[in-house]
C-alpha cells in the first residue's frame, strides 16, 4: 500500500489525481450468500439425519451444500478485492479476484446524482448511488456504505459552486 491506497489501485491513477474517498461495498452485501450457505448446511444436516444409508441420497444432499459454500467463498473473495474510488476527476470501481477489471466514469460526464435506499439499506446503513447524464439513469455503485457522505463528496466534485466554504459559517446571513 502506498499512503493507504492499495498498489493495485494506485497504478491506475493519473499523476495529479487526488483520491477523495475509497471504500468497499457494505458488508451487508454478503448477507444473501451467507444466509444461503448456512441455510443449505442446516437443511442438509436435518435431511442427512433422516436419510437411510443410501450413498446416492447423501450425494444429493451434499452437492447443493458444496455449491452454496463455494458461492459464499467466491462472493467474499470478490467483496474483499472490490474498491470504489472517488478521485478529483473520476469515479472508479476496481473489482475482480481472478479477472481484474475496472470501470471508470469521468466526473465531467455526470450532471445529477441521487441516492436510493430500500428498507434493508436503511436498516444496515447502505444505499445505491445513481447518476443521470443526458437523461439516462446509470447506477454508479450499489451497497455504498455511508451513502449520504459519499453523495455530498460527489456532489461537491461535480458542482464545486454547490459547496459552502467553511469561512461562510462565521459570517452573518445577508438579508
* Residue 64 phi, psi (nearest 5): -60, -35
97-137, pLDDT tens digit by residue? 888 888 999 998 888 899 999 998 999 999 999 988 777 88
In the chain, pLDDT over 70 holds for what percent of residues? 89
What number is the average pLDDT over the span 78-96? 92
What confidence score (pLDDT) does residue 134 get? 75
Question: d(Cα 127, Cα 158) in Å, to the nearest integer?
Answer: 19
The model's pTM is 0.75
Mean per-residue pLDDT, 22-33: 93
Residue 116's pLDDT is 94
> Which residue carries 443410501 as its cell?
54
Residue 133 pairs with which residues in a beta bridge? 136
Whether residue 64 has pLDDT greater than 50: yes
Domain regions of the chain by residue span: 7-25+82-161, 31-77
Q: Does domain 7-25+82-161 have CATH number 2.60.120.380?
A: no
pLDDT of residue 10: 86
pLDDT of residue 34: 95
Amino acid at each position: 500500500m502506498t499512503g493507504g491506497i492499495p498498489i493495485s489501485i494506485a497504478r491506475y491513477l493519473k499523476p495529479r489525481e487526488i483520491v477523495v474517498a475509497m471504500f468497499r461495498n457494505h458488508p451487508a452485501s454478503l448477507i444473501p450468500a451467507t444466509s444461503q450457505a448456512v441455510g443449505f448446511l442446516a437443511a442438509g444436516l436435518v435431511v442427512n439425519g433422516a436419510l437411510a444409508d443410501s450413498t446416492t441420497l447423501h450425494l444429493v444432499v451434499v452437492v447443493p451444500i458444496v455449491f452454496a459454500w463455494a458461492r459464499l467463498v467466491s462472493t467474499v473473495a470478490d467483496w474483499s478485492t472490490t474498491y470504489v474510488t472517488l478521485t478529483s476527476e473520476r469515479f472508479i470501481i476496481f473489482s475482480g479476484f481472478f479477472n481484474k477489471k475496472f470501470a471508470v466514469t469521468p466526473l465531467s460526464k455526470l450532471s445529477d446524482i441521487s441516492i436510493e435506499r430500500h428498507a434493508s439499506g436503511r436498516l444496515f446503513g447502505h444505499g445505491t448511488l445513481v447518476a443521470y447524464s443526458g437523461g439516462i439513469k446509470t447506477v454508479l455503485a450499489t451497497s455504498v456504505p455511508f451513502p449520504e457522505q459519499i453523495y455530498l463528496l460527489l456532489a461537491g466534485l461535480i458542482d464545486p459552486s454547490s459547496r459552502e466554504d467553511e469561512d461562510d459559517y462565521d459570517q452573518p446571513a445577508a438579508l
